[in-house]
Structure 1
Amino acid sequence: MTGPDRRGLILGGLLGGLAGGAAPGLGGRAMAQQPGRLPGPLEEMAHSDNILWNGVTLTPQGRIFVALPNWIGPAAGAGEVGRDGALRPFPGNGWNRWAPGGDPAKALVSVNAVRVNPAGDELWVVDSGAPLGGQRLPGGSKLVVFDIASGEAKAVHSLDQVLDDPRAAPNDIRFHGGHAYVSESGVGSIVMLDLASGRLRRLLVRHPLLVMDPQRTVQIDGRVVRTASGAPFGTNANQLEVSPDGRWFYIQPLNGGMARIETRYLTDPAVEPGQLAEQLRPWVDTPALSGSAIDADGNLYLNAVNDRSIRRVSPEGRMETIFVDPRLRWADAPWLTLDGWLWLPIAQLGWTPMLNGGESRLEWPTRLYRLRVRGA
């Protein structure tokens, strides 16, 4: 693509570029139990004056990809932050230019997540296929697999065959072994993809532990976040992780309360639905979360919405607050690098017009931070 596209996604430097540091006078607070200098401080890696991002993922070589949701209008769906600091659509062709009337099977309609695969050579994009304020379009819900080197779409896994409810909304994705795990937050379920065969299965539909409890409210500065209808905001099955050894699968509604199940029950098609449902059990009483990551030792890092904090949960289920900062305005789907940097895209979902009675409470620019949470 040459020149800026019609939605202004080439930002001419992102002003902050990839160097930047924490803003003076706004330093975060590392909790007392942390040894030495960890975690913190927040380091600004990029910022945007007009585009929201709600997910970030990095290649082993340091290429930075972000998810670009359509929360405030048409969006390219996926982008790359270059070494010059500019945000450009990825792959930079028709995939980034969906418009009403276009083929939703051949463009990114409404992206919820981007994720580099374990080999580091593919970018997986989770597309809910639902335009802002609308229902999923036929062919729109899909997993698109891009070759990172060429930008070519290597595969498109349509989710229509397993998502038969118009309210279903694919949300996020993780990999382990020969499977991809997708959270479905509209109804509350898990979608499994066999990477070898391409076979899809949908599991644990409307399981009580995957459905949000409206009494567990999402709050911003003490105010309950509400939808346009006035109902408390939240989503069903949302954050998900797989333990490094592949034994445990963790999942929770956005509003809180994390459950887990051994992956052997999910990956075995012979397990009966009733037995599967019994194996998903409560694990940690987590708060409302906007994102999660897991390290090589099995520690979970959780972005807590209500108090703008980072929580850490040990493999044994012990939860502690390790960092608090007012700049974490809905820090969404993060990425944890092998050398201990937690990348945090500030999504500001709770400040968008759709959750504020049509009024924008967004603060610009919105930023992409990183935070050291582990030693190298």
Structure 2
Amino acid sequence: MRKIISLASIIACFSGPIWAYADTLDNLDTVAESYQMMWNGVAIQNNEVYVSGPLWSDSKGPSVAKIGENGELKPYPSKAWNSTNSEIPLSKRFVNVNAIHKDDRGQLWIVDTGVSTFGGSVIKDAAKLVVVNLQSDKVSDVILFSPLVLKANSYVDDIRFNGDYAYLTDAGAPGLIVLNLKTKKMWRVLDNSPSTVALKNRDIFLDGKVVEVMKGQPLRVNSDPLALSPDKKWLYFAPLQGPWSKVETRYLNDFGMKDNIQNKVHSWFNLPPVGGVAMGKDGIMYFTDLAANALRTISPEGKINTLVVDPRLHWADAPVIDKGSVYLPAFQVDRIATFNEGVSRVEFPIGLYKFDLRQPK
């Protein structure tokens, strides 16, 4: 019988990782660069590349863009959606996009946090999911987040799909959000759980220093990265700093279980702070190790391999796997003025990179 570990002792129950370092492969190619847009999300459809990023990151480009053949950033799905014109209703334009994710139906889901600024409050009717048909480039649905699942300090972070359900992390007000895609009903689970709250004793180190919101206040990011097992039976999730937990999706999908899921959560793995993850069809999870500017993998058995270490991968965020390659948006968010006492240390251009998984060059 599988033992369920008490979340009160979640940290004490983690075993150390099994590290295995592969030779670094020179397979990192530049897909696109920008001196305007700071991106933390990427999606690929039929070799077309889409990127996104929150405006609070000092980005000067669109919130969501399609990259043209010459590297031009075309506002996507339209200029109006990327406008900051206050005359356009908040439900019809982006406010602060944090993630994009493609489903298996050829739709791009855009996660708009709807916050005024980093650490700000959610604006009424601004937090939403915008669904775009990638064939027609038309918005097919706009799903506003219910006031029942949003809190004043919510920051809806990322999304994954499992049949008729979607799961989202809330990095502001720690917890998970479940969305029934058929009924559009939403509910929260694991509010302020040890599995979703960022620990106070786990700092994020980059460039040899602790990332701080302001002097003496280390950055803490609650439930952030998430991934589904290939069979969709398990959801893996964590605060940005880790550690990771997992829960069976059958409990998430059951509205009647929403207040009784905490004792169904298992501790999973004690990974370092990660920018984002992507799950392979073989159950191997790809993750970006922030402190090391690295792309690594963890196998279902817990073996960790290093694929590439490169200074260009500074705060590489949400990776995406497509046709034997991993796409990596290098966000550099820790270098923005907000986290550096008002002085931007971003090293332009912002890069989008591709790592070839198939063979060394």
Post-superposition Cα deviations, 1:124-170, rounded to whole Å, max 9, x if no partner, equal: 10000012243211001111101122222211111133334210110
1:256-335 equivalences in 2 (<5 Å): 256-271=242-257, 273-274=259-260, 276-335=261-320
Report the secondary structure of 2:42's partner residue: strand
Q: Answer whether contact 2:221 2:241 (CA < 8 A) is retained.
A: yes
Instruction: Please list every run of 5 or more consecutive structure 2 residues that lacks an aligned counterpart in the other structure.
Output: 1-19
Q: CA deviation at 1:319?
A: 2.6
CA distance in 1, matches of 2:104, 2:169: 18
Report the secondary structure of 1:361's partner residue: coil
Q: What one-letter code is carried by the residue in structure 2 that aligns with 1:243?
A: S
CA distance in 1, matches of 2:145, 2:61: 21
Post-superposition Cα deviations, 1:280-303, rounded to whole Å, max 9, x if no partner, equal: 121100000111101000111111
Cross-structure match for 2:84: 98
Q: What one-letter code is carried by the residue in structure 2 that aligns with 1:79?
A: A
1:33 aligns with 2:17: no
Q: CA deviation at 1:76?
A: 2.6
Q: Answer whether contact 2:36 2:59 (CA < 8 A) is retained.
A: no
Q: Percent identity?
A: 31
Q: Answer whether contact 1:145 1:156 (CA < 8 A) is retained.
A: yes
CA RMSD across the alignment: 1.9
1:129 aligns with 2:118: no
Cross-structure match for 1:340: 324
Cross-structure match for 2:352: 368
CA distance in 1, matches of 2:114, 2:251: 29
1:193-208 equivalences in 2 (<5 Å): 193-208=179-194
> Which of residues 219, 225, 243 is equivalent to 1:233?
219
Cross-structure match for 1:81: 67
* Larger proportion of strand: 2
Aligned residues: 339
> Which of residues 164, 167, 176 is equivalent to 1:190?
176
Evaluate the alpha carbon distance shift between residue 200 and residue 51 of structure 1 in structure 2; reply closer, same or farther with a 3 A threshold: same
CA distance in 1, matches of 2:211, 2:199: 14
Q: Answer whether contact 1:283 1:317 (CA < 8 A) is retained.
A: no
1:356 aligns with 2:345: no
CA distance in 1, matches of 2:203, 2:276: 16
Q: TM-score, normalised by structure 2?
A: 0.89
Q: TM-score, normalised by structure 1?
A: 0.86
1:55 aligns with 2:41: yes
CA distance in 2, matches of 1:190, 1:345: 24
Instruction: Please list every run of 5 or more consecutive structure 1 residues that lacks an aligned counterpart in the other structure.
Output: 1-30
Higher relative contact order (CA 8 A, sep 6+): 2
Evaluate the alpha carbon distance shift between residue 317 and residue 265 of structure 1 in structure 2; reply closer, same or farther with a 3 A threshold: farther
Moved more, 84-93 or 233-242: 84-93
Q: Answer whether contact 2:110 2:130 (CA < 8 A) is retained.
A: yes
Q: CA deviation at 1:101?
A: 6.3
CA distance in 1, matches of 2:288, 2:85: 32
Q: Answer whether contact 1:143 1:159 (CA < 8 A) is retained.
A: yes
Q: What one-letter code is carried by the residue in structure 2 that aligns with 1:80?
A: K
Q: CA deviation at 1:317?
A: 2.6
Q: CA deviation at 1:103?
A: 2.3
